[in-house]
């Protein structure tokens, strides 16, 4: 979920769980029994440093389920001194940090609100008001840009904590107005955890400040989500949790230029396959493959967004001609029973040509995202077309067509984002014990 400006939130405080990395000399949760013998206390400075070295932090995630489908994952965090708790979507596709203030009226519904007057660490600077807009929403339904989808907010600073990691003087955006799309989400706001200083807001993000201050061992952010389970998912800040995945690990290169310029995680998309066959451009002479693309890896989006109507049409023509445009905003769908009957896996190849690549599967079970509002008996398919998703490719010298690949694909993998080293790592989550058909 990439905003044209900014957006965040917070919730009831949950203590994060630090854990050691595999190559550390620490004890794992399953326990290691060691015999002990008396000795003098070792006051060697290096030993003290080892004991105080930072560890990754595990943060519980809750799942927003709609029509039985996973929409978003969100966590509890705090803002201010003493801390005030709210909930927020954890969004690696953005640096934006927005949540409601006490001045927000009915447009913020029943969401928790931050009261700056009760925080001794709050600063009213810079005090700049902004109209903050988003390109994708919390559900797969395309956004209506006849009005701003986002918030009216004012920029301040305060202490913000997530997973026990507290950072003072964090830029925050306190909203006094929410659009209906934001109010309808169960979480209070949006917590952007992109690392790079890019896009429209050059200030360091909360996550970059945490990394630069040495509170965690690395800039890695890892997601372990269990589809269909409301309280079983986990975010790891500063590394990976080896108890949550198994098998080989694939580390891919991000597009450094685009990722830095846009302030998000951008990776190459050289090919797409359906039924084992590469998707081509059926209207061009010789039916060449779809153009080499770029992907915004946006866990905060509950859709896959194609860069054009034509690209979406090529994908759906390989699944079923009965899937048609159902909304001028870019939604596609079909009668619900038809969509369930014709659904197929869609496989995206991640990674640059000539370098390490990995196929990532949009599972056929996730193609149907449920009834489309206002259309009786019609269900929406998860792939939409959305013309302005290509704006991040302006940072790329190749100007590749821009796609957004959100949680419908990435939730089926254990994924790690590292924009400091410009790497994206993929592994098999432990909840997926076997994959006999090699779909993933």
Q: Where are the domains of the chain?
A: 17-237, 243-429
Provide the b/e sequence for 341-369 (b: ≥16 CB within 10 Å).
Answer: ebbebbbbbbbbeeeebbbbbbbeebbbb
**Quick check: 281 pLDDT over 70?**
yes
Using alpha carbons only, give the angle 329, 386, 339 rounded to the nearest 5 degrees. 70
pLDDT for position 233: 96
pLDDT for position 283: 81
DSSP 105-129: -GGGTT---B-GGG-TT-B--S--E
**Banded pLDDT at 15 (limits 50, 70, 90):** very low
SS3 percent helix, strand, coil of the chain, rounded to 5, is 15, 35, 50
pLDDT for position 70: 83
- The phi, psi pair for 316, rounded to 5°, reads -70, -25
The residue written with tokens 């039985």 in the block is 68
Out of 138-142, 159-163, 261-265, give the one with best mean pLDDT.
Answer: 159-163
**Banded pLDDT at 11 (limits 50, 70, 90):** very low
DSSP 8-state class, residue 1: -
pLDDT for position 4: 45
Q: Of 34-43, 91-100, 185-194, 430-439, give the lowest mean pLDDT range.
A: 34-43
Give the architecture-level CATH label for domain 17-237.
Beta Barrel (2.40)
pLDDT digits (tens, 9 = 90+) for 227-259: 888 899 999 999 999 999 999 999 999 999 888
Selecting from 2.40.70.10, 3.40.1410.10, 2.40.50.140, 3.60.15.10, what CATH number does the domain 243-429 have?
2.40.70.10
pLDDT digits (tens, 9 = 90+) for 283-300: 888 888 888 999 999 888
How far is it, in rounded angstroms, from Cα 272 to Cα 416? 22
Q: Are 7 and 104 in contact (CB under 8 A)?
A: no
């Amino acid at each position: 979920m990439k905003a044209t400006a900014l957006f965040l939130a917070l919730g009831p405080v949950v203590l994060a769980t630090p854990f050691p990395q595999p190559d550390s000399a620490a004890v794992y949760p399953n326990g290691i029994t060691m015999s002990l013998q008396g000795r003098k206390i070792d006051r060697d400075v290096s030993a003290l440093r080892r004991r105080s070295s930072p560890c990754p932090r595990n943060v519980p995630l809750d799942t927003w389920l709609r029509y039985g489908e996973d929409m978003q994952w969100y966590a509890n965090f705090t803002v201010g001194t003493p801390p005030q708790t709210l909930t927020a979507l954890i969004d690696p596709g953005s640096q934006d940090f927005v949540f409601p203030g006490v001045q927000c009226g009915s447009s913020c519904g029943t969401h928790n609100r931050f009261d700056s007057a009760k925080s001794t660490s709050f600063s009213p600077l810079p005090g700049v008001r902004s109209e903050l807009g988003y390109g994708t929403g919390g559900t797969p339904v395309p956004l209506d840009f006849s009005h701003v989808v986002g918030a009216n907010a004012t920029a301040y600073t305060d202490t913000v904590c997530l997973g026990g990691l507290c950072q003072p003087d964090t830029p925050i955006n306190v909203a006094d107005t929410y659009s209906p799309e934001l109010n309808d989400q169960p979480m209070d706001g949006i917590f952007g955890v992109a690392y790079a200083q890019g896009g429209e807001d050059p200030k360091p993000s909360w996550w970059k400040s945490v990394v630069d201050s040495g509170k965690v061992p690395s800039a890695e952010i890892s997601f372990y989500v269990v589809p269909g389970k409301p309280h079983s998912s986990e975010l790891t800040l500063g590394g990976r949790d080896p108890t949550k995945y198994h098998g080989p690990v694939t580390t891919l290169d991000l597009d450094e230029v685009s990722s830095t310029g846009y302030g998000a995680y951008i990776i190459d998309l050289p090919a797409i396959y359906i039924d084992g066959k590469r998707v081509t451009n059926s209207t061009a002479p010789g039916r060449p493959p779809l153009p080499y693309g770029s992907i915004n890896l946006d866990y905060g989006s509950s859709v896959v967004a194609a860069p054009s109507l034509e690209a979406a049409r090529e994908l759906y023509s390989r699944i079923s001609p009965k899937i048609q445009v159902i909304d001028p905003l870019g939604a596609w769908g079909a009668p619900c029973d038809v969509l369930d009957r014709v659904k197929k896996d869609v496989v995206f190849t991640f990674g640059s040509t000539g370098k390490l690549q990995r196929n990532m599967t949009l599972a056929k079970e996730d193609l149907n995202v449920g009834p489309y509002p206002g259309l009786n008996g019609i269900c929406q398919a998860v792939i939409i077309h959305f013309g302005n998703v290509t704006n991040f490719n302006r940072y790329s010298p190749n100007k590749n067509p821009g796609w957004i690949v959100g949680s419908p694909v990435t939730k089926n993998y254990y994924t790690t984002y590292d924009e400091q080293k410009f790497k994206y790592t993929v592994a098999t989550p432990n909840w997926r014990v076997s994959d006999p058909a090699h779909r993933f």
